[in-house]
Amino acid sequence: MGINDFIKIGTKIKEVRKKKGIKQKEMAKKLDIPVSTYANYENNHREPSTEMLDAIADVLGVSVFELIGKGKYFDMKFNPDGKLTKELNEWQCFIKYLEAIGYTVEIQPEVLEWHYEDVIEDGKVIGKTQIADKETYTVTIKSDKIAATYTEAEFKELQNTIKDSVDYQVWLKNNK
């Protein structure tokens, strides 16, 4: 499962755009991006950057919080059991922890398998877009003196190792 599986704001962007009566082509033009890129955002195939979210919200005349559900990255109706929410929160908190202790964290998504789909506007095919079917990522952690790059599995293992270490220290303190 890739990072983009967690973030499903495109549906909300599309809903607001349609309510405002704006076409995808108009949005792309106002944002100065290709229509296919904008369509990828709406179809949850590509995650917009923070800056792009701000720009989309400005064009739509709404706050970013209205687009992402009052500060949440996706609406719980897309995730009723809460498992992805917990996993995403733990992942984000771990990255924030690494940054708090002085590391720079760079995430590089990688598409392993993909296909093309038609981009449809008003019932007409207006182009093609590339859709990721299978994704992974690498994470590079840097400090002033060192850097290391982890695969998705290695990064999860690092996260679990740190958690186990904290659990052990709490257990030690509790049993003294």
pLDDT tens-digit readout, 56-73: 988 998 877 677 654 443
pLDDT (mean) for 22-29: 93
> What per-residue confidence (pLDDT) applies to 64?
73
Q: CATH no. for residue 91?
A: 1.10.260.40
Specify the length of the chain in residues.
176
> What per-residue confidence (pLDDT) applies to 161?
93
pLDDT (mean) for 23-27: 93
Alpha-carbon dihedral 147, 155, 96, 94, rounded to 10 degrees? -140
DSSP state of 74: S
Stronger pLDDT, 21 or 125, i.e. the higher one: 21
Residue 101 CB neighbours (<10 A) = 8
Q: Are 12 and 75 in contact (CB under 8 A)?
A: yes
How far are the Cα atoms of 19, 47, 92, 133, 147 from residue 139, in angstroms, in the given order?
38, 17, 13, 20, 10
Q: Is pLDDT above 80 for 144? A: yes
What is the chain's mean pLDDT, rounded? 80
Q: Are 139 and 107 in contact (CB under 8 A)?
A: yes
Instruction: Report how far residue 150's alpha carbon sits from residue 140's, in angstroms, rounded to the nearest whole number.
Output: 6
The string of pLDDT tens digits covering residues 89-136 is 777 788 889 999 999 999 887 778 877 877 777 778 888 877 767 778
What is the percentage of the chain residues whose pLDDT exceeds 70?
A: 81
Which structural domain, as residue segments, surrounds residue 15? Answer: 3-174
Q: Is pLDDT above 70 for 160? A: yes
Number of domains composing the chain: 1
pTM for the full model?
A: 0.49
> What per-residue confidence (pLDDT) applies to 69?
55
How far are the Cα atoms of 12, 16, 54, 63, 80 from residue 66, in angstroms, in the given order?
8, 9, 11, 5, 20
Residue corresponding to tokens 């992974």: 136
The string of pLDDT tens digits covering residues 34-63 is 998 898 888 888 878 777 888 998 899 887
Q: How confident is the model at residue 11 (pLDDT cuts 50, 70, 90)?
A: confident
Q: Is pLDDT above 90 for 151? A: yes
**Tally: H helices and E strands in the chain:** 7, 3
> What per-residue confidence (pLDDT) applies to 121?
75
